[in-house]
């Protein structure tokens, strides 16, 4: 089974589109990780003028990278450890409760609802450092495997 560092190394993202700093826990039932939104990220320059706020699509992407993709990579080890797995986001249903500002650290917690026929469906929640829920909902994705070589 892959460890947390191996899972992070398999993520198909790089800066500036990598929204995972640390993977705290992962098992067959879910994942927990953190990310701090650097105040110098380019999208803050125009969203919103003079009052930057993290766009909802970026919050959703952060939840997907930590709570769906990392978990999908972990779970795909049960399918075929010789294959390279990718998780493609297929659907989202997210409610936003509070803004996330530049420099804020968030924690994402996902809980697997089901994983069958290579389809992963999760409940996800993002909290700020004060422990307030900033957004929550469900994410789904398909795990695809590509043989190495």
Catalytic residues: 47
Is residue 68 a contact partner of residue 137, using CB atoms and an 8 Å limit? no
Backbone angles phi, psi at 6, to 5 degrees: -65, -40
- Token pair 């589109």 in the structure block, residue: 17
Residue 11 has, within 13 A of its CA and on its CB side, a CA count of 25
Alpha helices in 46-129 (DSSP H): 56-64, 70-79
């Amino acid at each position: 089974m892959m460890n947390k560092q191996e899972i992070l190394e398999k993520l198909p993202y790089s800066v500036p589109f990598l929204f995972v700093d640390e993977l705290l826990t992962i098992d067959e039932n879910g994942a927990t990780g953190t990310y701090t939104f650097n105040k110098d990220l380019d999208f803050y320059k125009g969203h919103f003028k003079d009052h930057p706020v993290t766009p909802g699509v970026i919050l959703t992407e952060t939840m997907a990278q930590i709570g769906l993709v990392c978990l999908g990579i972990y779970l795909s080890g049960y399918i075929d450890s010789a294959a390279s797995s990718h998780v493609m986001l297929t659907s989202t249903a997210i409610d936003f409760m509070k803004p996330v500002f530049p420099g804020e650290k968030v924690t994402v917690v996902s809980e697997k609802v089901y994983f069958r026929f290579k389809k992963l469906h999760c409940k996800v929640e993002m909290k700020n450092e004060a422990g307030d829920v900033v957004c929550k909902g469900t994410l789904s994705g398909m795990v695809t495997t590509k043989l190495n070589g």
